[in-house]
Structures are given as C-alpha cells and as structure tokens.
Structure 1
Amino acid sequence: MAAFCEEFTLCTVAGSGGCALPQGPLGLEPDGDRVLLTDRGRTVTLYKVSDQKPLGCWSVKQSQVITCPAVCNFETGEFVLVHDDKVLQIWKEDDTNLDKVFKATLSADVYWIHSVPHAEPLVLFKNGAVKSLDVLLAAPQQEIKNVFSNEVIRWSEAFVEVEKPFVVFITEQDVNCFIYVQHCNPYILHKFKLDHGGESSTLLSFAVSLKNKVVTLLCLYSSGCVYKVLVPLQQNDSGEQHILPKSLLTRLEQSGTLFKCASIAILDKDHIAVTGCLDSTDGKVKESISLWNIKFQTLQDSKELPLGSTGQCWCYGDRLFVMHGKELKVILYKCETSSLAAALGKIKSTSTSETKSLSVNWNMLQEDGLLCVQPDQPVPAKGASKRLLRSGRTTCAKTQLESLTVEQLLLIIKNFSPDVIEEKLMNFLSSAQIPDFQVSIGNILLALMNRCEAEPAFYPSNCLVQLAQMQGLSYSICPGLMTVALEKRDVCLLQLCLQRFPDIPEAVTCACLRTFLSLGDDSLEKMNVNIDSVTSYIDTAPNRKKEDQSKVIQNGFSSELLEENSCDAQLTQKSHAVDTSKLCPVGPQKATLLNSILRSAYSETFLLPHLKDLSAEQVILFLQYLQFLYMKCSEQATTKLPGMFCPTINQIMDWMCLLLDAHFTVVVMLPEAKGLLSSLHKFVRAQVHFCSELNKIEGSLKELQKINNPKDVGLYSIEVLKLV
C-alpha cells in the first residue's frame, strides 16, 4: 500500500500555471535536506526543506537567461549552472554575486548537467556528447564532437555503477525514439532504438531506475499507458542497431481520457507517482497527483490539484515536489511492501516461504489474557478443558516472544490492557530487526491513537514514550501522537516530541507553549520532568525561591525602577529591593519545558499567527523568562547556556522579537509590562554602547596591524605604540 502523508508549501514560483501555460521551474536538484530551485529566467534559490526557508539566492545579469538548471558538485561543495547555452558558472554558497565567480565559455551548447555521488558532475551536450566537468574545466574550448545531427534530446539521467558513472538519454527524430547509454570511464557509447509497439499516442514522460546492473525505463504515454523497457548496459558487437521491445506495465485510466503535461516518478519497485492533467471526452479536465501500484495495477491514493499544475514532479527520498498553481508543494508519502496477502488482508508468515493465514485462539485469549497466534492452529472445541489451555500457556508465550509480528501486536493493542500491551511492545522492540521500521512503528502508533480516541480512559503513557524515543521518527509519521498528548496534558511526552521530531507544525508548537505556560509550577513539580539541564543556572532550592518571591511585589517587579542611565554602570539597589531580572519567573520544570519550545524548528511566517493566541498573562510570563535567559547569557559572556537542551542567545532573541511583534499593542498597553519593557530597553542600550566600544577597539587593532615593525629587534626589546 502507498498513501500520501503531510504536505506543505515550500515556496512560490513566479510564472507557473496549468496546462494552458506549461511553465514552472527549470529544474529542481537535491542536496541532502536542501534543494536547488532554478526558475525559467535568471534566478537560482537554495532552500532547506525541513525548515521551509531559503538559504541563499543568486541571479545572473539582466540580459542573461539560465538554460541549464543548477546542480551541486558533491566533490567540492560548489554549485554549477549554464546560461545562454554555453557559459558555465561555478560558485560557492557564501558567494553573493555571480558576476564575480568563475566563468568559462564552452565550444558547444549544453543540454543538461548531472550530479552524481562520489564523482564529478557530467555535462551532456545537445549534440549527444558527454564530458566530465573536470575534463571540461581543463580546456573549456576543447572540441566537442557530434554524436548525432538531426536528433533532439528529450530526457536524460545519470547513474554510478561499480564506481563508474554513465548517462542514459533519449532522443527523438520524427516519430522514432533512440536510447543512448554513454559510459564515461572509459568513454563507450551504446545506441538502441525504442520499439513503437503499436502505440500511436504521444510520449509524455520517462522515469528510470537502476538495480542489480539492470536499467529499467518506464515510459508514460498520453493514452495513460505505462510501458517498461529493459535497457542493457552493453551492446553486442554485430554492428546492427538493436531494437528494445517494450511491455505494457499498467493502464492508468480508462479509454476516452487523455493525459496532458504529465510526468511519472518511481517511488520503489512496486509503486509510481503520476502528476498531470487528465482530459476526458466530455470536456472535463482534472489535474491531480496519484500513487499507483504497478505490481497489482491498482490506484493507491490520489490528490486533486484544483489550482492547476505544470505536470512537473520530482521525487527525492520520501518527498514528492509538485507544482500546484504558483506554489511548489512538498508532499510526504509512505509505501509498504506490496504483496497479494497484504492486499487481501492476510498476514504474511516470515518463517516459511509460503503465505499462511493466521488463526487466533480466542478461547485462550478469554481464559488467560494472552494472545497466542500460530500458523494453522486449530481452535479448541467449546467444551475444551481449561486445564489443557492453561498448561499450554508457557509454550504459547515462548512461541509468541520468538515470532511476534506487527499484525499480532496490532491485535494485542486492540484488545488488551495497557500492562499487557507494554510487555508485548517491549518484546517486539527488543527483536533483532523490525521490517519496514518507520511504517511498522507508524502503524503501531496509529493503532494506539485510535484506541485512545475510542476509549477516553485508555492512555498507555509508557508505551508512547518508548515509541517516541525510537530513532528516525517524525511528526508526519504519527501526527495524532502530540494531539493526544496535548489532550492528556502529558508534558513529558510533549517535551520528548519537541526534542526529537524535526517537522512539528507551528500550530502544534504554539499549542504546546500555551499548555506549558498554563500549568502551575506546583502541578509541574509532581510530574516526572528531568530538570538536569537547567540546574546550572536556575536555583532549584524551594526555600530560597519562596524567600525571593516574598521580596517581589505582584507580577514579579521590584518596587523601584532603575535610573534612566544606570546601564553603563553596575546596577545597585537598596537592601530591601531585588533585581528581578536575576530571578527566574518560573520553576525549573516549566523552564525545562519552555527551553524545548525555544529550540524547536519553525518558520516565522507560520508561527506569528498562532503566537497571537497567547493570553496577556502568558505573554508577560514568557517575556520575563526570555529576559532572564538573556541576562544569564550576558553574565556568562557566552552564546549558549550550559546544558544539553538549552537555547542559544540567538534563539532567545528571535523568540523575544516574535513575541513582541505578535503582541506589540497588548504589551504596550499593559501596566504590568512597563517595568519589563523599561528593563529590556535599558539593557539593549547598554549592549549597543558595549558593541560600539568593541568596534572602536577593533579599529585600533586594525591600525596596529598596519604598522610595519622592524624585522631585527634583537634578543630583547621594549616597544611602545601610541594610538592617536
């Protein structure tokens, strides 16, 4: 089975549209968690997908046009693009102006540049020649020989086989299609002709995969037919042109419909994704993205694109990048192992080569409270001896411990108490290897969430904490986990999710923040919150805390305001007054939870609207805590507080600015905030003055560096330098 998961918008692309305007990005290239987006004009933008933020943007000159998408050179960490067909440019991430980076004019027009792991990028020219980038840079004006003359390249892809890179590209001449395999070390070219196979519709898209030295090419036609072509990496020496046959893999739609602006992407050996515009004979046009099982020829999931699509689709990892209107959408998906047993609701036995249905001994479930599932196990008669059932309990438990599967564990979750579930879950997680780890854990969490919703009294906290600690999980795999934790106010589980999940939506982050701020310190002290990370800078002694609080009037402010210009000198107060900025306004448990919020990933655009849901009291309390953290960082002259999960000074300042932006009017109008704003204002003035003095010292040191010291100063000398 395959299904869509969470989706979000990465960016807006100008000039995109539906099939009536087949524009969109020129290319999208992966670089780990980052992607290089090249538009059909002058701009290349580097995005970090998990943060949904641009990291850099570069543009060529006004009169220039990018004709080949930018790629990353994994060997050097540089970016490469081609504009105006022949001009090659190479730059690094810290370069800001493409006018000042390396340029080279080539002797032939470039079609595409392919980046390959552990090798230099491969440059494919429009005449069919392939050159390694380092070979081209050695002599940019070297002659590029024509591989063909009257053919036009339609598509290309690069691979590495046994540390030897090669390029597969397809050309078109009239109604004929040719497949080329160009090896680069050494340079060996193989040419094949693609068989028509009686298909009269238009070729729209190609996708290719490499496994076990076999290249599998998928061809999508406008009729909705997907054909499979096996491309050999070598050609016989007979000299005759070899024609590659194609076999019908699946038909995506019924007759009478026509695909337009469509593309195909391979997800795994059994699943594909198809994006495009479907036009029927009755004039109805539907644009969508769908997941198909090509093994059983079934539609798995579909998502409509009502704003139109360019038909472009890129698949990197577990993410699909699709144009929807003017937005570039990122859609997460999951694929389970495809089998007929799974499709029919049967359980596949891993102990034997054949699939057997598993029967459940419900009599034993009722008597002993245990699940004993065995292949082809007969169900005892209604009047069977209870002694016989109980005598087999030990053997059954041992067998279950050895061969407990995901399906069996799901049955346990559905029917048994939290104690039994916890025991069986620990046995399952302690197994040597869990097949399809993320999918299995996601299904287990989903089963637990479903039972929590069906039975309000059911909440296996220990099981959820144990699963949340597993490596490789994310919010998108189990989106209901944090929702249930918020309903139960399970702050320990929420803290764990905030620390481990990299893709928590901003709305959920703010919901956690409201929950943490609304809980009292007394109730948090009763919860099992690990406060080791804050003990180094927060006084956790209860008597000292109460004593300090007795010296502070309501809202945590001293009775005396500081003098207007007292920031330049050390702040002093009378013996009965307290410097409130040095007192933590929250307890250590709440401080630990708030730190997990400060360290979480977010996008300012999506976070600001949800921050406005905080009450005035929560805003003031949060600002007081942020001020306390900032003062602690300033006292220790460091950019990060001591401890494993403590925020940095940049994170503290960013959240303070976001909070003030979201509640500017509220903070200004509240009388309780006057002292806090005054203290922050004075501290900022002091920091500005301090930075100004540092700039003066920096200028003086630079002047000292310019002074030419004599080379021979002898064995001992004293030199006095006077700064005017």
Structure 2
Amino acid sequence: MAALYEGYTLCGLTPAQNQANSGIQGVEAERDSDHVVVTDSTRSVTLYKVSDQKPLSSWTVKQGQTLTCSAVYNSHTKEYVAVSDSKVIRIWKEEDILLDKAFKATVSSDVWRVHCVAGGEPVVLFHRGAVRFLDSLLSAPQQPIEEVLAQEEAIRWSTNIVTESQQFVIFTTEQKGDHFLYLQRLNPNSLQRYRLEREEPGLSPLSFSVSYRDKHIRLLYLYPNGHVYQSVVSVRGPVADEGAQPLPLPRSLLLGLPVGDGLLEEASAQALDDAHVAVVGVPHPSAGSGKDFLCIWNTNFQTLQAGKEMAGKIYGQLWSFCNKVFIPHGKTLSVIPYECPKSSLAAALGKLRQAKPEESKATTSVPSWNNILHEEKAHPSRTVETRKTRTSRKSQSASSLTNDQILELIKTTPVEEVQREVELLLSRTDIQDLQPLVGQIASTLVSRSLDDPAFYTPSSLAQLVHTRCLCHSVCPDLVLLALERKDYFLCQLCLQFFPDIPEAVTCACLKAFISMSDVDAENASLEPDSVSSMETLIAGERGPVGLQNGFSPSSAGEDRSDGLVGAGGTRAPQDKEKTLTPPEQICPVGLHKAVLLNEVLQTAYSDSFLLPHLKDLSSQNVVLFLQYLQFLYLKYSQDAFPQMPGSRSPSLTQIMDWVCLLLDAHFTVLVMTPEAKGLLLNLHKFVKSQVRLVSELGKIEGSLQELNKMKMAKDVGQYSIEIIELF
C-alpha cells in the first residue's frame, strides 16, 4: 500500500493577513532531486537543499516591484528565469547577488508563466494564450504578440511537458462558466483545443494536474463537490482550425471524495502515478470535521491508502517531485516523503500474498491449476493452522507466516518468540521488497515497547537497523526509545545508518552521552571496531614532532599574548617529550563515552537547526565536551596518522565545526565560567592555527593556478632553462 512518511519543515511562511494565501507562488525542481526553488507571492526567490532544510541562496527584487510568476531553473544554461511586474523577464545565475544587476528584458505583452522542465527549452506563456521559446523572445523582446484566446477568456492553470519527440505547453481557460483545454505543440507549432464537460451549475475545477503515458496526456481535475475526473488526450489529436469550435473532451470519474456537508473551498489533487492520487484539503473519511489532511487514494480500487493530518490552515496548494510532496500549511512549508508501490487488488486490500521458499523450490515443472484456482481445497490444513493456539503457533517458522501474521504476532507474543520470528524473517531470501516490511516491523516493535515497559527486543531492533532499510522518518521514535532504555549500542547503530536524524534528536543523544556516568558507559556493549579504533587513539604513542594540520607544540609559544595554557608553551627536552604526555592529551572522558560522542560528531546537521538545541546543554556538559574536542584536535594535529584506514572516526573539520557551534551557543556562559578560561585560550590558539593553515593553502593554490595558466613551449629543444616567478 502507499505510505506517507515523517515529514519535515523546509521553510516558514508569511501568509497574507486574511490567511487566504500561503504566500508562495510556486515550488519548482532545480538541478537534482534534492534542490528546489521557492518563489513567494511578492518579491523573493530562494534556493533550498531539501535534505538539509537549508536555504543556499536568495534573491529579491526592489521595493515596489513584484514577482508575477514563479521562478524556474534552466538546466542547460544553469540559470534562473522569473518575471516581475508581468512584463520584465529576469535571468540570473546562482553566483549573482543582486537581481537588479542581472539580465532583464521588457516584453510587449503581459506574461502568464515561464515554464521549463528537464529535457526541454524554457517557454513563455502570455496572458492571451500565445507561446514563445524564451531564446526567440529575447532576440526581439518587443516583437508583437498575437491573441489566441477569445474575449473574456482567461487562463486558470498551465504546465509544460516533454514527450519522446515533442514539447507541449498545456493550459486551461475559463469563459463565462465554460472551461477549455489547450495543447500547444512546439516545433512545429500546432494547437489542439477542447471543451471540458460542465459540472453542476456554478462549480469550477479547483485544481489540475497532468501526466504523460503511452503517447497520451492525462488531465486530472478536482471539483468542489469532491469529484475527481480524468480526461485522456492523444498527442496526435486534430489540429484546431482558426475560428473552429473546440472539440468536446470526454471524461471519466476516478474518485468521489467525501466533502461533508458543504463544498470544498481550497483543495488540490495531484497525480502521483497511474494509480495513486495525492489529495489535500479534503476531509478524512474517519476524522472529525475541521481537520485538514493530506491523503493518498488508489484510483483503481477507490481506497484510501495513507493519510496525515496537517497542522494549521490548508491553502489548496500541492507540489510533487521525486517521491516528495511539498505542501504549505499554517505557517510552514512541509516536505513529506511518500511511497506508492505497484497497484494490485491484493495490495489495496492489504492481502498481498508472499511467495514461499518451498513453492519456489518445487520439484515439478508443471504447475497444478487445481492448486492455483482452489488453493484452500488443495491445502485444507492451512485453514486449521490459522486456528492453532498461541502455544502451538510458537513452533511455526517465519517462512510459513505472512507479513500480516508476523505483525499480529509481534503485538501479543513474548519477547523470545518475537526475536526468533524476526530473525527467521530477515534470513528469508524470497521477500521481494524488504524496505516497507522492515519499516512496519520496526514501528510495531517500537509502539509495543513504548506502551509496555516490560517489553523490549534490542537484538531484533539492531538486526532491523543493520538491514539499512530503515531511516528516522520511517520509525521516528526508535532513537528516543533506545535512549530511554539505555540501549547505547542501538543508539550507535542509528547514528551510523540513519541519514535523516533531526537536530533535536542528535542533541538529545549528545546530552544523554555526555551526562551518563562512566560506569554506565563502560557497561554498554558497543561496536568493537569503533571501540578498538578509539582505544588505539587514546593509548597510542605520539608521532614525530612537527607542523601537522597547521599546529605543532612548538608553535604554541610563538604568540605569548594568547596565554596558551598547558599546550606546550615551554619546550621540554627531546628525550622527555617522547615519554611524557601533555595534560591536554589525557582524554577527559571514558573510552566508551568517547566512542558515542564520536558518532554524534559525524551526524549530519544544519547549523541553524542545531544551535537552538545546543543551548539546552548545561555549562558543565559544554566544558567537558569542549575538553574532549580539544583532546581530539591535539591528537589529530600531533600524532602520526591517528585515523586508521577504514575506521569510523570524526574528521578534523567536523571537530572544528563542533567547537565553533558550541562557542556560538554558549559563549557568554563560558566567558563567565572560571574553569573555562584556560580552555577558551587554548581553543583560540587552535582556531588561529587553522586560519594560518588555510591561508598557506590558499597561497599554494594561487601558485598552482599560475603554473596551470602558463603555456608550455611546443619545442624546447634538447636542453633548456626556464625561470618561474611566483608572486
């Protein structure tokens, strides 16, 4: 069945005062599946990296100017295109800072939208229905623009698609209650016009979406009465003659959605594939009134397959890219991953039959039609097996249980039996799609563990994480459950394998690890390789003394004004330096605690989201964590190759980033803490050494660039002397 996973916030919204508009004109795909361009309803365009929930760049037009269509990305030229004040086309690159200084051209007629999709050229659709390629329009911006639409006919929606050999601009219009569909073929130009069938008097479509399949364009549209229709148009349809009446457009009813007592006001339907439709703003059949939901419906079997309640007002806007839904609600724009497996009746009813090992290894090569058509008669014992008691069911292996039976078994049976069945299930080789099943099992185990304090299956959860089919969005309570049960091995696995752990959960792990007692930490069973790697780093002898990674003990005393405390400011005799370890190289935390902290250091994060949660740490925890980071920095700077090949350990860059984050979050508290004074002076010296290192690397880079620019002589003879001057 289709599924909606845990969503996250991409950005905040600034809705209009009347709350009727979300403040967003459009969300457009950018260079890949992880980048989108968001255009607000007034003046700004922002580029976001979706996985990081982080704005990469933002551009704004001047006060008094307004963006009148959403910006698009031209993948061929790596440029952005938008329109301000209906007639000014603006084109800029990511490195451009000010829109006013970028390229702009004024055209002779009002622009409705600029469209650009992967594999196609940017096209401009004018308010009166004319279409131009962007390049041909910019070659003569003031060229006359013809009127395609009739009087009092206005565009309501438009899009752009690219087929195997053609590019189409598709738009719908409204004229005195009638709705029309236009298919503008480009290169060569031809126009197809159709009239949509009328719905109940006074009802106009709330939303449109288009998909292309089997040389046909499929138009999906939603009416306020909850009816979702589909119209199929051939890309080789008849070309409309000028002045001819538009052809009637047949339609078929795909869904009759529940609307409650009244009509829908702000709703949208988006085709996800040939059998699934995402709908927002339509009441959930089993929820009370006044609640807004995002739902996925199966159009083949008229079934609701997934639903998620959305907090705040729904604005009837919905975008879908790369298995992610973008939906504005309340004061946020959320990203919700989804999955739509292949539609079948068994899947729609939740009865998808799993192939069994003994069936795939049958000795006979001729199938029995009696067994296929009359399975229950051929195997009467199966009916009896389903009625066995729990005691006899314990002996039943996972290979003879369906997925639904295993999920039901997890909800009721003891821990030992659950762990055995999960282990048998994961050892099977006949499961076609393991990821959805692993997510369901993990969610069921976590839900039961949260409800029943006496139930917990650490080995099963660790096995599920090891499959790499889980992520935080699929089972959002798993990490917090592991922290609650003090299962630090499971925490370590989640931090290693989950790419989408939120910053709040990362900080919860950090707070738990740094606050735990050394006794609890040493009793924890952690991954052996990470423990061995950290043990080697702590107990290893120092390498040769020298300038490594921009820092050396001797350099610590070069600047006495920094007041470096205990960082090698006084030179010790060479023989003592090999045997004595400076105080800073004594690890301030235990071995196992250090291993867990290393996992936190390597977790992905966004600065703006992590900083607020770091402020919840106490001053004692911050000082201890900074001391540990100082220890790692000294080891990495002075020891020879502390990072063993293949070992999982934080990089020097990650260490310095966390130092800066902690100082940003707690600088005032640290300045007022007496025991942090020497630590801050040391860290200041570390930062200066890194700045010096980067500066030297910059000089080397400049020298190499100059060498690269030099043209080598084609014939230098058998002997030559060249003088190279580096500035």
Task: Give the TM-score range, shorter chain.
Answer: 0.7 to 0.9
Q: SS in structure 1 opposite 2:467? A: coil
1:607 is matched with 610
1:378 is matched with none
Seen in structure 2, the aligned counterparts of structure 1 residues 22 and 518 have a Cα distance that, compared at 3 Å, is closer
CA contact (8 A) 1:364 1:370 kept: no
Residues 1:625 and 2:628 are matched in the alignment? yes
Q: Aligned to 2:394, which of 369, 380, 392?
A: 369
Q: SS in structure 2 opposite 1:258? A: coil
**Cα deviation, residue 246, structure 1:** 2.9
In structure 2, C-alpha distance between the alignment counterparts of 1:12 and 1:720, rounded to whole Å:
55
CA contact (8 A) 1:3 1:291 kept: no
Residues 1:36 and 2:37 are matched in the alignment? yes
2:181 is matched with 179
Residues 1:508 and 2:505 are matched in the alignment? yes
Q: Aligned to 1:408, which of 405, 408, 418?
A: 405
CA contact (8 A) 2:193 2:240 kept: no
Question: Quick check: 49-58 or 183-192, which moved more?
Answer: 183-192
In structure 1, C-alpha distance between the alignment counterparts of 2:537 and 2:184, rounded to whole Å:
68
CA contact (8 A) 1:319 1:333 kept: yes
Matching of residues 193-592 of structure 1 within 5 Å: 193-236=195-238, 241-254=246-259, 256-276=261-281, 286=290, 288-291=292-295, 293=297, 295=299, 307-332=312-337, 348=353, 359=383, 360-363=385-388, 366-367=391-392, 369-371=394-396, 401=399, 405-414=402-411, 421-422=418-419, 424-426=421-423, 428-429=425-426, 434=431, 437-471=434-468, 473-520=470-517, 524-525=521-522, 527-530=524-527, 532=529, 539-540=536-537, 564=561, 571-572=569-570, 578-592=581-595
1:67 is matched with 68
Give the structure-2-normalised TM-score: 0.78
CA contact (8 A) 1:533 1:643 kept: no
For residues 248-288 of structure 1, the C-alpha deviation after alignment (integer angstroms, 9 at most, x for no partner) is 4444345741322333223455544444499xxxxx99472
In structure 2, C-alpha distance between the alignment counterparts of 1:481 and 1:675, rounded to whole Å:
40
In structure 2, C-alpha distance between the alignment counterparts of 1:68 and 1:515, rounded to whole Å:
48
Q: Aligned to 2:660, which of 636, 657, 680?
A: 657
**Cα deviation, residue 407, structure 1:** 1.7
Question: Quick check: 426-435 or 446-455, which moved more?
Answer: 426-435
Seen in structure 2, the aligned counterparts of structure 1 residues 437 and 165 have a Cα distance that, compared at 3 Å, is farther
**Cα deviation, residue 664, structure 1:** 3.7
**Cα deviation, residue 198, structure 1:** 4.3
CA contact (8 A) 1:226 1:248 kept: yes
Matching of residues 650-689 of structure 1 within 5 Å: 650-685=653-688
For residues 213-264 of structure 1, the C-alpha deviation after alignment (integer angstroms, 9 at most, x for no partner) is 4433222223333333233333257977421133444443457413223332
In structure 2, C-alpha distance between the alignment counterparts of 1:98 and 1:297, rounded to whole Å:
48
Seen in structure 2, the aligned counterparts of structure 1 residues 594 and 76 have a Cα distance that, compared at 3 Å, is farther
**Cα deviation, residue 172, structure 1:** 1.7
**Cα deviation, residue 604, structure 1:** 3.8
Q: SS in structure 1 opposite 2:472? A: coil
1:385 is matched with none
Q: SS in structure 2 opposite 1:407? A: helix
2:11 is matched with 11
In structure 2, C-alpha distance between the alignment counterparts of 1:459 and 1:444, rounded to whole Å:
13
CA contact (8 A) 2:39 2:46 kept: yes
In structure 1, C-alpha distance between the alignment counterparts of 2:698 and 2:564, rounded to whole Å:
19
Residues 1:25 and 2:28 are matched in the alignment? no
Seen in structure 2, the aligned counterparts of structure 1 residues 173 and 354 have a Cα distance that, compared at 3 Å, is farther
Seen in structure 2, the aligned counterparts of structure 1 residues 470 and 124 have a Cα distance that, compared at 3 Å, is farther
**Cα deviation, residue 57, structure 1:** 0.5
Q: SS in structure 2 opposite 1:81? A: strand
In structure 2, C-alpha distance between the alignment counterparts of 1:355 and 1:59, rounded to whole Å:
68
In structure 1, C-alpha distance between the alignment counterparts of 2:410 and 2:375, rounded to whole Å:
22
In structure 1, C-alpha distance between the alignment counterparts of 2:641 and 2:612, rounded to whole Å:
32
In structure 1, C-alpha distance between the alignment counterparts of 2:494 and 2:464, rounded to whole Å:
10
What is the one-letter code of the residue matched to 1:473? L
Give the structure-1-normalised TM-score: 0.78
**Cα deviation, residue 491, structure 1:** 2.1
Identity over aligned residues, as a percent? Answer: 45
Seen in structure 2, the aligned counterparts of structure 1 residues 536 and 446 have a Cα distance that, compared at 3 Å, is closer
In structure 1, C-alpha distance between the alignment counterparts of 2:704 and 2:534, rounded to whole Å:
35
In structure 2, C-alpha distance between the alignment counterparts of 1:718 and 1:316, rounded to whole Å:
57
Q: SS in structure 1 opposite 2:587? A: coil
Q: SS in structure 2 opposite 1:529? A: coil
**Cα deviation, residue 445, structure 1:** 0.9
**Cα deviation, residue 72, structure 1:** 1.8
What is the one-letter code of the residue matched to 1:115? C
Question: Quick check: 214-223 or 356-365, which moved more?
Answer: 356-365
CA contact (8 A) 1:595 1:647 kept: yes
In structure 1, C-alpha distance between the alignment counterparts of 2:197 and 2:81, rounded to whole Å:
36
**Cα deviation, residue 362, structure 1:** 4.4
**Cα deviation, residue 591, structure 1:** 3.0
Residues 1:81 and 2:79 are matched in the alignment? no
Question: Quick check: 601-610 or 444-453, which moved more?
Answer: 601-610
**Cα deviation, residue 170, structure 1:** 0.9
**Cα deviation, residue 487, structure 1:** 2.1
What is the one-letter code of the residue matched to 1:516? F
For residues 67-121 of structure 1, the C-alpha deviation after alignment (integer angstroms, 9 at most, x for no partner) is 2211122334332222233433333322323344344444544322333223333
Q: SS in structure 2 opposite 1:203? A: coil
In structure 2, C-alpha distance between the alignment counterparts of 1:300 and 1:470, rounded to whole Å:
26
**Cα deviation, residue 594, structure 1:** 1.6
Q: SS in structure 2 opposite 1:36? A: strand
As a proportion of its length, which structure holds more strand?
1
**Cα deviation, residue 452, structure 1:** 2.7
Seen in structure 2, the aligned counterparts of structure 1 residues 632 and 642 have a Cα distance that, compared at 3 Å, is farther
CA contact (8 A) 2:168 2:185 kept: yes
CA contact (8 A) 1:12 1:327 kept: yes
For residues 569-619 of structure 1, the C-alpha deviation after alignment (integer angstroms, 9 at most, x for no partner) is 963355697423333333454333222212223344443343344344422
For residues 110-163 of structure 1, the C-alpha deviation after alignment (integer angstroms, 9 at most, x for no partner) is 322333223333433333344444555666566655433433221122233335
Seen in structure 2, the aligned counterparts of structure 1 residues 468 and 76 have a Cα distance that, compared at 3 Å, is farther
Seen in structure 2, the aligned counterparts of structure 1 residues 581 and 139 have a Cα distance that, compared at 3 Å, is farther
Seen in structure 2, the aligned counterparts of structure 1 residues 565 and 429 have a Cα distance that, compared at 3 Å, is closer
In structure 1, C-alpha distance between the alignment counterparts of 2:290 and 2:640, rounded to whole Å:
60
Seen in structure 2, the aligned counterparts of structure 1 residues 592 and 88 have a Cα distance that, compared at 3 Å, is farther
Gaps of 5+ in 1: 279-283, 372-396, 546-559
Seen in structure 2, the aligned counterparts of structure 1 residues 640 and 57 have a Cα distance that, compared at 3 Å, is farther
Gaps of 5+ in 2: 357-370, 377-381, 543-556
Q: SS in structure 2 opposite 1:259? A: coil
